[in-house]
Amino acid sequence: MSGDSIPIALPLSRLASDACEVTDLYRELRKPLLQYLVCLGLSTDEAQDTVQDAFLSLHRHLASGASQENIRSWVFRVAHNRARNRQSSYRRRFGEPLDVEIDMVLDQATPEQVVLEKEKFRQLGKAIRQLTESERECLLLRAQGLRYREIGNILGISTSTVGETVSRAIKKLAEKCHV
C-alpha cells in the first residue's frame, strides 16, 4: 500500500481550490477506502486501482461544477459501485484465513492467550461471513467512520434502515461471539 501521491494531474491555475479539496480528501479517505474495498474482497492492487479511479471521477465531478455536498459519501459510492462491477472479486469477501496476522498481533501473548484469541477471531470471521450482504456493508462503512446518513447515501437506502441494519448486525455478532 505505497504511493501517497495524488494519481491525477490537475490544471492548478484554473482549479486550485478543487485541487486542494481533492488533495485533502484523498489524504483523509485513501486509507478507509482501501480498507473498505479490500474487506469487500478486492485484492490490494484492485483496491488501489479503484481508489484512483474514484478520485479521478471526483476530479471530473468537481471540475464540471457539480454539487460539492456529501463528497465523502460520493467518493465511497463511486468506489463501492466500481467494486461491485468487479463481480468475481466481490464474491470472495472475507473468504480467506487470517492465521498469519493473528500471530503478528499477538506477539507478546502467552500461548494460551494466542489460542484463545485465535479461536475468538475465527468465530468472529465465521459470524461476519454469515451476515447478509447489506449488514456486512453497513458494518464495514460504519467501521470507516461514516455516519448513518452517509452510509445510506452510499448504499442507496434510508438512514433509518441503516440504523436498524447496523443494530441487527452488531447484535448478531455479539450473540455468536459470546462477547
Residues that bind another protein (CB under 8 A): 1, 34-35, 38-39, 43-45, 94, 96, 98, 100-102, 104-105, 120-121, 124-125, 128, 139-140, 142-143, 147-148, 163, 166-167, 170-171, 173-174, 177, 179
**Cell numbers describing residue 12:** 492548478
H or E element, residue 119: helix 111-130
CB of 44 to another protein, least distance (A): 5
CA angle, 172 then 177 then 137, to 5°: 45
Whole-number Å distance between alpha carbons of 144 and 154: 13
CB of 58 to another protein, least distance (A): 22
Using DSSP's 3-state secondary structure scheme, residue 8 falls into coil
Whole-number Å distance between alpha carbons of 84 and 102: 29
Beta carbon nearer to another protein, 52 or 57: 52
Beta carbon nearer to another protein, 84 or 129: 129
CB of 74 to another protein, least distance (A): 20
Beta carbon nearer to another protein, 77 or 176: 176
CB of 88 to another protein, least distance (A): 16
Whole-number Å distance between alpha carbons of 100 and 103: 5
Nearest alpha carbon to residue 32 among 82, 63, 73: 73
Beta carbon nearer to another protein, 71 or 105: 105
CB of 83 to another protein, least distance (A): 14
Judge contact between 148 and 95, C-beta under 8 A.
Answer: no
Beta carbon nearer to another protein, 65 or 178: 178
